[in-house]
Structure 1
Amino acid sequence: MQTVEELELKLSEPSERLIRDVGRIKGDIMILGLGGKMGPSLAKLLKRALDKSGTTKKVMGASRFSNESMYNELSNFGIDCYKVDLLNDGALKGLPDAENVIYMAGNKFGTAGNEHFTWAMNAYLPGRVAEKYKRSNIVVFSTGNIYPFMTIDSGGATEKVRPLPIGEYAQSCLGRERVFEHFSVKNGTKMLLYRLNYALDLRYGVLLEIAKKVVSEKPIDLSMGHVNVIWQGDANEYAIRSLLHCESPANKLNITGPETISVQWLAEQFGEHLGKNPIFENRPAKTALLNNASRSFDLFGDPLVTLNEMIMMTVEWIKSGGEEIGKPTHFQERKGDF
């Protein structure tokens, strides 16, 4: 895989299990925060799945759409797109109703020094959205950052682990969850809190960041010595299918890959395939931000793209000089300063 076109085609290719499940979803779907890293490919995946299922449900999406070409691309794909600032209450209220909402809006990067905007996006806006779409099923994108660090041999935090967020970004994400939970109880709105880490495609993500450091012979920090990852296409599929598992009070679901992965091992794999000797600094801590997604596998089945496939696709992407988005995950961060 060497081109964006090939990558987008793979990300938006629906599985038979997704096609089956979208046929069971009742009503139109609105995606709020459509213009982020995952939103465009999720919308295309959903539209293709609906078309293959033979249903005529609408796919709608709202975003600022600072990238005009993205607005045009998605509109031409058959997505009903709305250019709005979701923090503008009038604009939010003016959006069409929908039986189903996938909420992807939020702020992470640049939190330090801009904390007020992060809290407005991550904790104030959810209340406005919950009131606007009180009669909808809502899948709320959240993060595994709300959990405490877990020991390497723990298998990661399950949904039963009490949140203990580190830093203002993670605290604001727990705020997002709590506000949505409040309105789920108050209004009886069916919701699912979708706790994700770390999704990737070939233009961004943990694997690309590690591989690039191997190629450039820059030191790789091992202090956050273990990670979880999941292919963005699988994460998007799970998000869509989660619309069938919304509950009141809000359901909670961890989403990531099945492995607890050593960062050093990943770097060594890339070194072998790219002809470089990785350089390391610091020693792995006994804890890391780790997520246990076994419950999601019981609901949806295992991810379709394996870790080895992700590694090999990343190698090919780097060798071919593939495009990059330029939004680092900061997966090494242990103090919560994003």
Structure 2
Amino acid sequence: MKTVAELDERLSRPSSGLLKDFQSLQGDLLVLGAGGKMGPTLSIMARRALPAAQRVIAVSLFGSDQVPRDLETQGVETISGDLLDDAFLKQLPDCPNIIYMAGLKFGSTENPAETWAMNVLLPAKVAQRFPNSRIVAFSTGNVYPFVPVASGGCVESDPPGPVGEYAQSCLGRERMFQYYSLKNRTAVTLFRLNYASELRYGVIVDVATRVFNRQAIDLTMGHFNVIWQGDANNMALRSLMLADVPARLLNVTGPEIVSIRWLAEQFAALFGVQPVFTGKESDTALLSNPAAAIAHFGAPEVSVREMIPWVADWLKQGGTLFNKPTHFEERGGKY
């Protein structure tokens, strides 16, 4: 992949499983919070997978005019506005299928009130507004506690243990959807994702960039999970078929538990440099076990070993980056 267009095509390419699932999906699809890092390619993937008669509508404040223009050229309808505005939320079209992606993570430590409004109040509003829809609500593995690396990661039945206000508010988001799922018999999948990665951002890009720039890499959070964003998009859309009452929990990530040290060494070899490390690996990390998702959808199509040379080539050719660090090394829950 040499261009952004090639990358976005790959990230929005529907899998055979998604194409098959969407043959039986009835009605239009509404993507709420579609203006973030994943929303545009997910919306385009949905458009590519659904028959032309079924609408895909992307809703967001949108940080620039370019994103909705790009979506419109791909056949995705767009609506710009503030989801926290009751009048705006009320006038959105009723859709039987919703992907809910709205949320606030970075800046949550400086803006705790806004974090709770976006991550807890808004989900309650959306769940009340669309009681008859099938909803996939994006969540995060941050709702889990740190666990021993040797454990293989938390499974869906493990009790939550969020660290910090951001993670606590994400658990609050889940609780709102769970409450209204039971109250209104709304079918919901809670999509616990960590971490999606592509060539412009993600933990793999963070580590690669530090190695490339000869910057020190903190080993304290020594291990992590990751999934190619295209695979995450596919699984999110396919999770509409799994939505249930009560809300279904689903861990979504790759099957590998990746060592930060090992990853840095792979990039160092590709770049012809020596990696610089600080700190020491902890015995625990924020890890999820995706066995249930893999049982439903199969293994991700793109592995970590495939992503590494893609990211290295992208950096060496000066490819566009989002310059939005994941702060994967954070262990205190402050973002």
TM-score above 0.5, yes or no: yes
Q: What residue number does 2:79 align with?
A: 82
Instruction: Verify the 8 A CA contact 2:12 2:233 in the aligned structure 1.
Output: no
Q: What residue number does 1:297 align with?
A: 294
Q: What residue number does 1:32 align with?
A: 32
Q: What residue number does 2:253 align with?
A: 256
Instruction: Verify the 8 A CA contact 1:23 1:55 in the aligned structure 2.
Output: no
Match of residue 105, structure 2, among 100, 105, 108 = 108
1:272 partner letter: A
Displacement over 4 Å in runs of 4+? none
Q: What residue number does 1:17 align with?
A: 17
Question: What is the CA distance between 1:280 and its match in structure 2?
Answer: 0.4
1:179 aligns with 2:176: yes
SS in 2 for 1:70: helix
Q: What residue number does 2:213 align with?
A: 216
State the alpha-carbon separation in 2 of the partners of residues 268 and 83 from structure 1: 43
Match of residue 333, structure 1, among 327, 330, 333 = 330
State the alpha-carbon separation in 1 of the partners of residues 284 and 189 from structure 2: 28
SS in 2 for 1:244: helix
Q: What residue number does 1:44 align with?
A: 44
Structure-1-length-normalised TM-score: 0.98
Report the count of equivalent residues.
335
1:9 partner letter: E
Q: What residue number does 1:308 align with?
A: 305
Match of residue 90, structure 2, among 76, 90, 93 = 93
Question: What is the CA distance between 1:55 and its match in structure 2?
Answer: 5.5
State the alpha-carbon separation in 2 of the partners of residues 215 and 192 from structure 1: 39
State the alpha-carbon separation in 2 of the partners of residues 261 and 24 from structure 1: 36
CA RMSD in angstroms comes to 0.8
Q: What residue number does 2:118 align with?
A: 121
Question: What is the CA distance between 1:56 and its match in structure 2?
Answer: 2.2
State the alpha-carbon separation in 1 of the partners of residues 184 and 80 from structure 2: 28
Structure 1 unmatched ranges of 5 or more:
none
1:265 aligns with 2:262: yes
Structure-2-length-normalised TM-score: 0.99
1:159 partner letter: E
Q: What residue number does 2:274 align with?
A: 277
2:178 partner letter: E
String of CA shifts for 1:97-152, please: whole Å, max 9, x gaps.
00000000000001112000000000000111001110000000000000000101
Structure 2 unmatched ranges of 5 or more:
none
1:191 partner letter: V
Decide which moves more: 121-130 or 1-10.
1-10
Decide which moves more: 5-14 or 250-259.
5-14
String of CA shifts for 1:280-330, please: whole Å, max 9, x gaps.
000000000001001000000110011111111001101111001111111
1:155 partner letter: G
State the alpha-carbon separation in 2 of the partners of residues 284 and 36 from structure 1: 31
Question: What is the CA distance between 1:66 and its match in structure 2?
Answer: 2.6
State the alpha-carbon separation in 2 of the partners of residues 124 and 110 from structure 1: 17
String of CA shifts for 1:49-68, please: whole Å, max 9, x gaps.
12xxx452110111002310
Q: Write out aligned runs for 1:101-180 (5 A).
A: 101-180=98-177
SS in 2 for 1:138: strand
